[in-house]
Amino acid sequence: MEVAAEGNLFTAKPEPLADLLSDIHKQKVALPEFQRPWVWEPNMVWDLIVSVAHRYPAGSLLTMPVTGAVFQLRAFEGAGELKARPNLMILDGQQRLTSLYQALYRRDGVQYKGNTYHFFLDVEMLMTKPNGAESDLFESALFYVKQEKDGRRFRYEGLQPKYELTTPQHEVAAGAFPLGCILDAAGSLDRWRQEYLLQRSTSEIASFIKRSSEWDHTVKPWLDRIRAYPFPVVELRADLPLGAICHIFEKVNTTGVPLDVFDLCTAILWAQGFPLNKEWATTRKILEEKLPMQTKPFSGTYFLQGLSLLDSFDRKRSSPKRDVPVTCRKQDLMAMRAETVKRWWGVLVKGYEETAKFMAEQGVLAQRILPYSTLIVPLSAIFADLRHCKGDVGAGAAWPKIARWYWCCVFSQRYSSQIETASAQDFEQVLGWIDGGDPPEVVRTFVFRTDALQEITSIRNVIYKGVLCLLAKGGAKDFGGGGKLSTALFFDTQQDHHHIFPTDCLARLGISDPRADTIINKTLISAAVNRSIGGHCPSKYLDTWRTRLGQQVFDDILKSHLVDPEMLSSDNWPGYFLNRREELRRLVQTACGVTLPPFSDAGDVGVEAEGEEP
């Protein structure tokens, strides 16, 4: 990362809230385009207004002068489209300033998830209390209402409307001052105040003067405190290196929706003339339309990591005598140039297309049973490089080796941690293996604890999901007779993991075995068939489905799930369980290309928690 020059890195000074919000409205202050949207809920805005009114610390703001086309900028939400270059950009403070701008500067209200909320101060409450400005009444007097679909606004007391606040006349009648008038330069605060005082005064001038004095004593101090609230503003030097700015921004962005490296790369590449966010949005839409469900949702960061793998490996291959590391770390992504991204973008898209076909072939029917979404990083880069260098035929010929590596990664739980390191190592080693070199380390050193199969009960576990995928890969059929499981059938029939030997039946048989909830006793079954199975013993539901589909047909379905029909139909739990666990051991053994040890039956039987995808 670049190091800033010597000297003061920033200056600090307080700025009145009224000036800050006015500058936002005039678009003198703006936001970097890569910032995430404003996300605060109305109750969070309420808390912030209370803090400001009481002059409690509400955090500092981090800003930087706009001196050149370093970042693409946008106006604050509610301030319209940006029409000219601002003077200052906000690196930290977006959520607070947007909240205050929408609540205190505009009569349009605060926008949140398609709804509009308006904030009011119950001045009637404040003015009926002596010493109101010094009392703790502000929290009680501050409230907000949700605008109805027809545009009307009501303050509710319980479930009943207390009064309407749709028009200024309604507000004055209720004594509910709209906070959107506090900083209005057009004079709406003075007009509202005057109308309110006139309505509550007699015809005598002395009455108006008295009420005006009460306003100045009980209401005005709160409004003045809000307007003059001094926000501490830290202004960075304009000549800080781009990488340093992004690093600072990431560290201070602790509220709202956190940024990831993709957002920072968006900012860095925009300065180089490449609109990463727009390009990714277009590519993502194309991928979502063309590729099946199991590869979704797509991650922009994963895509950037794939680009980094392709580029660093190409540089290493082009300079064999140079020590060029193959990498996809965060700092590597932020160092990529626009030319690099453009060069490999289309190549990686082809890799994603091949990855989708590969996953479908491996039985990954849906995102729900995808063992690791993180594996798409090295997998898509491997296929991208193969198609780029060897064409479609060369990529297809490599499938057996890639499949073995893939399942060794799943059943060794390799991608549960240190994902960037594993991705870089595996990408380079798998390609080397395909070219005649040694197998990847994860294949050469693969070890699997067989007893895990009779311990894992959660579908969050990658081994659990891996077994379900291998069953589908091996030709598992729909229990309802609908044919071989596919992505379309998975969703059409609402397939999910369910018990084969119902636990209610085990209870009636007087059997208590915690292994009944493990993957040994689970498989993919449609919602309708699972409802028909209920808690019935296998002997009963097998009779039902053998009659409905034919005995041979249903028995073949059970066999496709590695279930012995005769063991199951006799309600022989020990025999069924021991048979199926052995079948699943062989299933994993074949996929990983190694000989697995037998079950020990001596370990503690429990719920496996390790190896879950982060």
Q: What is the pLDDT of residue 602?
A: 43
pLDDT digits (tens, 9 = 90+) for 119-161: 999 998 888 765 544 446 888 899 999 999 999 999 988 778 8
Cβ proximity of 266 and 276 under 8 Å: yes
In this model, does residue 10 exceed pLDDT 70?
no
Once rounded to an integer, what is the mean pLDDT over residues 48-52?
A: 92
In this model, does residue 614 exceed pLDDT 60?
no
Mean pLDDT of the chain: 88
Out of 75-84, 229-238, 344-353, give the one with best mean pLDDT. 344-353
Compute the CA torsion angle 567, 569, 574, 575 (nearest 10 deg).
-10
Confidence of residue 476 (pLDDT cuts 50, 70, 90): very high
Once rounded to an integer, what is the mean pLDDT over residues 176-190?
A: 85
pTM: 0.68
Amino acid at 386: L
Confidence of residue 171 (pLDDT cuts 50, 70, 90): very high
Query: Any residues with CB less than 8 A from the CB of 104 and at least 6 apart, and which?
Result: 17, 21, 49, 119, 179, 180, 182, 183, 226
Cβ proximity of 89 and 29 under 8 Å: yes
> Among residues of the chain, what percentage have pLDDT more than 70?
90
In this model, does residue 187 exceed pLDDT 80?
no
Phi-psi region of 209 (alpha: psi -120 to 50; beta: other; left: phi over 0): alpha
Looking at per-residue pLDDT, the higher value among 296 and 586 belongs to 586
Which backbone phi and psi does 499 adopt, to 5 degrees? Answer: -70, 140
Q: Break the chain down into helix, strand, coil percent, rounded to 5.
A: 55, 10, 35
Query: Any residues with CB less than 8 A from the CB of 559 and at least 6 apart, and which?
Result: 565
In this model, does residue 163 exceed pLDDT 50?
yes
Out of 2-6, 284-288, 447-451, give the one with best mean pLDDT. 447-451
Looking at per-residue pLDDT, the higher value among 551 and 610 belongs to 551
Cross-sheet strand order for the sheet of 10-16: 10-16, 230-236, 61-65, 88-92, 29-32, 73-74
At residue 264's C-alpha, the angle toward residues 260 and 267, to 5°, is 145
Q: Specify the DSSP element, H or E, that contains 568.
A: helix 565-569
Task: Map tokens 């968006």 to a residue.
Answer: 266
pLDDT digits (tens, 9 = 90+) for 403-441: 999 999 999 999 988 889 999 999 999 999 999 999 999
pLDDT digits (tens, 9 = 90+) for 501-542: 999 999 999 999 999 999 999 999 999 999 999 999 999 999
Here the tokens at position 215 are 């306003």
Distances (CA, A) of 218 to 92, 129, 134, 136, 474: 34, 8, 8, 11, 77
Residue 575 class from Cβ within 10 Å (0-12 exposed, 13-18 middle, 19+ buried)? Answer: middle
Nearest residue to 223 (alpha-carbon basis) of 191, 180, 194 = 180
CA 76 to chain centre: 23
DSSP string, 381-404: HHHHHHHHHHHHHHHHHTHHHHHH
Confidence of residue 607 (pLDDT cuts 50, 70, 90): very low
Cβ proximity of 396 and 354 under 8 Å: no
Task: Compute how many other C-beta atoms are within 10 angstroms of the C-beta atom of residue 187.
Answer: 10
Once rounded to an integer, what is the mean pLDDT over residues 164-185?
A: 90
